A and B are shown apart, each in its own frame.
Chain A
Amino acid sequence: MSETLGDLALEVRSKNAGPFWTTLELFMRDEAGYAVAADEDLLNEDVIARLYGAPVDQIRFFRIPALNVVKISFPRVVPQGGFRDRDVHSGQHHVPLAALTPTAAGARNGADG
């Protein structure tokens, strides 16, 4: 059974960063988990664009080894609280990211199981 990024993390969360941006954070358990999440082959602008429909050139990545955190910000697809916004606080947008299965990267970094 492959572990997801959510399984490897202490917490995966999402939130507004003001009315026009969503931000996602992966708080990994340890350096091995961080190495998986920070792997640019696994997680990059193209992957986030595919998962969230965000414009690839406006996606911002922050890889923070001191905290074992990867943070990703992108413009909201629908402005906060507008007619078609179904998540006013961006509180549930972490799920597609947490569901990613880093099988290949996990094996390479010896972080599986």
Chain B
Amino acid sequence: MRVRPKEYQVNDTAVRILVPSGMLGAGFPPHTIERGIALGADAIAVDGGSTDSGPYYLGSATPKTARAQVEHDLRILLRAAADARIPLIVGSCGTSGTDAGVDWVADITRGVLAAEGLELTVATIYSEQRASSLVADLRAGAVHALPPAGALEAATLESCTHIVAMMGHEPIEAALRGGADVVLAGRATDTAVAAAVPLMRGMPAGPSWHAAKIVECGGQCTTDPRAGGVLATIDHGGFTIEPLDPATACTPTSVAAHMLYETADPFRMREPAGTIDVTEATYRALDDRVVRVEGSRFEPAPQYTVKLEGARISGYETMSFTAIRDPHIVANIEDWAALLHRILGEWVSRTLRLEPDEYAVDIRLYGHNAVLQDRDPATVPAREVGVMLLVHAGDQATATAIAKVANPLMLHLPTADMDYLPSTAFPFSPAETERGAAYEFVLNHVVDTDDPTAPFRTEYRKATADV
């Protein structure tokens, strides 16, 4: 379809970005959006995903959030953006930013726009990558490992069910200039969604990127993250930040501390185009709830790179769970678990004729040391212990068969010094729960690209016209 390009001014003195929450679908008090609009927001930006909940969402291309959650948030944000005539930008749609995730959010958006009678132009930016194209990049020496990853094999790329590249602000900026009112981006850096509008309207890179990092989790940089999001005002000398809820505060400590959050290095952060450097940044309270930040820098990189994320199926899992309250078994729980593990191996070898390298079993003693294992500093006696058996195999039927072989052991295994068979406390019938495909992240690499928009594909759709 034909969409009219938009002119954006670059002689602004300041650009204001409203971030309603840390993630689309997390919810927010509606009055905080009204307040952000009243304060003069120039754009609404919100992150739609993360790798933080593990490889399943990328590997299976399914979202972590419920459709109704995303629809609830989009209804409020789309109406606010339309009324105020400002762009709405969503990054990492559908949790992992796969093409299916973008289409999922686009479909929800289409429904909301139709129901609300809003005519907005929606751009979708797809970030999924073809393994064959990346193999060519690999062979050309354009793919580089990030620590702690090692060199990449072509077969690893080809084994992924989905690979996404993390876009910077450039494809988002291009979509806005191309006429989009709403930008639904695939995988994007957490910062790119909030940095795009300040950068395209001429704000300096240091404050734009630093502000974007501070607001990426919404209210996390305030004294009460539950009260809603924040408004960042970026100008030529720095940025100011305040919570959207008047009863909540940003303090120099709450703002500075957010640079630590989910980052390995709190002072220097790589984006596709360069590195945010906040080593010299200063944080100053303007009043009891607004903070001013100055001194942020951005160092352009000699080579533009995009980061890749890829997940593949590692096998199939079946879980079984029982619980032990008997004080004698609990007192000898590690010996009991070791015995269970050993006898299970013998029975699997005898009945299923599987070698040890054809499957894996993890016995987790919840209530005893399941979480930190031998790194746990405490050794208090447990009153009851949950025993999770997790089986991993090349196919689901094998994983379940192994869990079934384990069942009589999990139910009746005595400790070595017991001369009767105990019965443990199974909470479920059937005892086995099939977890389906198990996924693993296998990429921690960047690929060189000289055109920041080239790895991404953008489509435009005028709402209501094609509903």
Contacts and interface: CB of A to CB of B under 8 A. Distances in A.
B168 to A, nearest CB: 17
Q: Interface residues of B toward A: which range? A: 35 or more
A41 B452 CA distance: 46
B362 A83 contact: yes
A28 B376 CA distance: 22
A83 B262 contact: no
A92 B372 CA distance: 8
Nearest to A92: B371
A21 B440 CA distance: 15
Contacts of A15: 261-262
Contacts of A82: 55, 314, 440-441
Contacts of B376: 95-96
Given A51-B375, A99-B377, A21 B256 contact: no
B132 interface: no
B303 interface: no
Interface string A47-80: 0000111010010101010110101010100011
B360 interface: yes
Interface in A78-109: 79-89, 92-93, 95-96, 99
B378 interface: yes
B239 interface: no
B55 A93 contact: no
B262 A16 contact: yes
A66 B260 CA distance: 13
B264 A83 contact: no
Interface stretch (B46-54, B118-126, B178-186): B46-54
Given A62-B265, A95-B377, A87 B371 contact: yes
Contacts of B260: 23, 25, 69, 71
Contacts of B371: 86-87, 92
Output the residue of B52, B372, B376, B439 with the most chain A CB within 10 A: B52
Contact of A64 (B264, B266, B317, B390): B266
A25 B376 CA distance: 18
A84 B206 CA distance: 40
B265 A96 contact: no
A18 interface: yes
Nearest to B267: A62
B364 interface: yes
Interface in B352-367: 360, 362, 364
Nearest to A81: B54
A96 B362 contact: no
A89 B50 CA distance: 11
Given A67-B253, A84-B362, A18 B372 contact: no
Interface string B255-273: 0110011111111000000
B147 interface: yes
Given A20-B148, A58-B147, A62-B267, A80 B390 contact: no
B401 interface: no
B265 A81 contact: no
Interface in A1-35: 15-21, 23, 25, 27
A9 B161 CA distance: 43
B257 A95 contact: no
B444 interface: yes
A19 B362 CA distance: 21
B264 A60 contact: yes
B110 interface: no
Output the residue of A19, A73, A75 with the most chain B CB within 10 A: A19
Given A17-B262, A21-B264, A86 B373 contact: yes
A64 B360 CA distance: 43
Contacts of A16: 51-52, 262
A75 B148 contact: yes
B276 to A, nearest CB: 15
Nearest to B53: A88
A20 B257 contact: no
Contacts of A58: 147-148
A75 B261 CA distance: 16
Contacts of B52: 16, 89
A51 B392 CA distance: 28
Contacts of A62: 265-267
A81 B50 CA distance: 13
Contacts of B314: 82-83
B56 interface: yes
Interface in B225-249: none
A86 B385 CA distance: 16
A80 B265 contact: no
Nearest to B307: A18
A48 B419 CA distance: 44
B149 interface: yes
9 contacts: A17-B262, A20-B149, A21-B148, A21-B264, A80-B55, A81-B439, A83-B314, A83-B317, A83-B392
Interface of B: 51-56, 147-149, 253, 256-257, 260-267, 309, 314-315, 317, 360, 362, 364, 370-373, 375-378, 390, 392, 438-441, 444
